[in-house]
Amino acid sequence: MANYEDIFKKIISHAKEYGYVFQSSEIYDGLAAAYDYGPFGVELKNNIKNYWWKSMVNMHENIVGLDSAIFMHPNTWKASGHIDAFNDPLIDNRDSKKRYRADVLIEDYLSKIEVKIEKDCAKAQKRYGDNFNKTEFISTNSRVLERQKKVDEIKEKMNHLLSSGDFEKIKLLINDLEIKCPVSGTNNWTDVRQFNLMFKTKVGATEGSSTDLYLRPETAQGIFVNFSNVQKTTRMKIPFGIAQIGKAFRNEIIARQFIFRMREFEQMEMQFFVRPSDEMKWYKYWKEFRMKWHESLGMGKQNYRFHDHETLAHYANAATDIQFNFPFGFKELEGIHSRTDFDLKSHQKYSGKKLQFFDNEVNKSYVPYVIETSIGLDRMFLAVLSHAFHEEQVNDNEKRVVLKLPSLLAPVKAAVLPLTKKDGMPQKAKEIMRSIKLDFNCQYEEKDSIGKRYRRQDAIGTPFCITVDHQTLDDNTITLRDRDSMKQERIAVNKLHSIIYKKINLAKYLL
């Protein structure tokens, strides 16, 4: 069986070969941790955005949208705490001269133990077959319990040291665990130092008159500073939310795992403003709602889990991650945070402007509390793409690579394929294409054998192939091929629209 690294490599090269994701500036040998989305990638990205926007904004009468500027007044980042506290703890290996995030080195060490636990489970599953109960095994097997105890203890220690800023002891922990540099193989480490993740730039014509600006590291602050503008112009009453999709930038030192951790990425964030003391009720609501959103795409409930934070950021009184089972294990896909009134209060202080709401039900003004849902668009893209990727044996001597994307998100919904280039089939195929392409993104292809064209559409992830043949010209029927089952059925052309619509109808996902 191929290991996860091989599968992940295949996914990355498939993404390139089929126009999903390219390395940025590839002709100049690429720029690390920056990626461009190709013709199919941009469609998939737009479909994910659309699904998020519909369910968060259009389906909630008390959530409205925003598109704020990437550049913001520099005091924004003083107020938000990013200038003082948005740091990563870095450590260098003196032999390889490679730089690492100290917490990531420890997390990688822990992941290896977690992989061992999974291997223990796989072995036991093999031995006990259908009688195997994973939950029971994990909670009773002494070896697994021992491994899990070790993971929990190290995690707790690391989190405590990170939140108290005790970097000397973080280095000691790395040494105690005998963590070695993957490149040099030694543990000749420097001290751990803090490194701010924000990109700085200058705006202005001359050196003297220029101002230091930062590229925003999260979209959320654009929402906070516009709280009053949005509330007044929309006459929203608490509880209400503001949603935004946009670019964010972080000078990640260890940018890796393809589009999982990048320096330029996109976030889909929503800040939900609530009455003080109501925040836990809404935190619970948004935790459940966001998990349902993920599950509705049909990528397997078992592939998601919550990871509640034990140590909290200075602004939060509760926080959880929704983790997804990526090819390299369960990792954060989305964060849900109860951010208290920290951000609005801090912006009030730094700007001198009131950021309050007069609640006439309780007849008083207050600074609202905030629940935030924050998902990385690129990570969601990677979750969808990696889950969809399958290599299948079709028959004794044929394999296919197929992207089993949720139909709603597939870049191309249907491919229209004349069986041959003769006898008016291309004309008929184009006529069919014209009748559906306004509602569904379609592709017309007449080159190569029909088998090759099916394989290409499988590799792109197109849910339907519509084949126009001789019979079409006689009785106005086509064959409709299903991507996943590869079954073909003969249907009347006038039924096509409703069949495709039924498969990708948002109501099926959202209502």
The footprint of ligand GAP (CB under 6 A) covers 218, 220, 250, 252, 261-262, 265, 267, 269, 332-335, 372, 374-376, 378-379
Q: Residues 6 or more apart from 398 whose CB is under 8 A from it?
A: none
Residue 227 to residue 339: CA distance in whole angstroms: 15
Q: Residues 6 or more apart from 164 whose CB is under 8 A from it?
A: none
Burial of residue 165 (CB within 10 Å: 0-12, 13-18, 19+) is exposed
Instruction: Report the residue number, 82 or 171, with the smaller CB distance to ligand GAP.
Output: 82
Residue 225 to residue 214: CA distance in whole angstroms: 16
Residue 493: CB minimum distance to ligand GAP, A: 43
Provide the total of helices (H) and of strands (E) in the chain, helices listed first: 18, 23
Instruction: Report the residue number, 333 or 417, with the smaller CB distance to ligand GAP.
Output: 333
Instruction: Report the residue number, 278 or 332, with the smaller CB distance to ligand GAP.
Output: 332
- Cβ-contact 225, 244 below 8 angstroms: no
Instruction: Report the residue number, 332 or 445, with the smaller CB distance to ligand GAP.
Output: 332
Residue 337: CB minimum distance to ligand GAP, A: 6
What is the separation of C-alpha 193 from the centre of its chain, rounded to a whole number of angstroms? 29
Residue 278: CB minimum distance to ligand GAP, A: 21
Residue 307: CB minimum distance to ligand GAP, A: 11
Instruction: Report the residue number, 269 or 279, with the smaller CB distance to ligand GAP.
Output: 269
Residue 86: CB minimum distance to ligand GAP, A: 9
From 411, 428, 434, 407, select the one nearest 501 (Cα to Cα).
407
Beta-strand relationship, 318-326 and 304-308: antiparallel
Instruction: Report the residue number, 332 or 359, with the smaller CB distance to ligand GAP.
Output: 332
Q: If you search the block for the tokens 């017309």, which residue do you land on?
A: 444
Establish how many alpha carbons lie within 13 A of residue 509's alpha carbon, considering only the half-sphere containing its beta carbon: 25
Residue 267: CB minimum distance to ligand GAP, A: 5
The residue number with the shortest CB distance to ligand GAP is 376
What letter does residue 247 receive in the DSSP assignment?
E
Residue 246 to residue 403: CA distance in whole angstroms: 27
Instruction: Report the residue number, 239 or 376, with the smaller CB distance to ligand GAP.
Output: 376
Instruction: Report the residue number, 226 or 441, with the smaller CB distance to ligand GAP.
Output: 226
Structure tokens at 166: 């005790």
Q: Residues 6 or more apart from 291 whose CB is under 8 A from it?
A: 304, 306, 322
Instruction: Report the residue number, 320 or 467, with the smaller CB distance to ligand GAP.
Output: 320
Residues 168/170/176/180 CA torsion (nearest 10 deg): -110
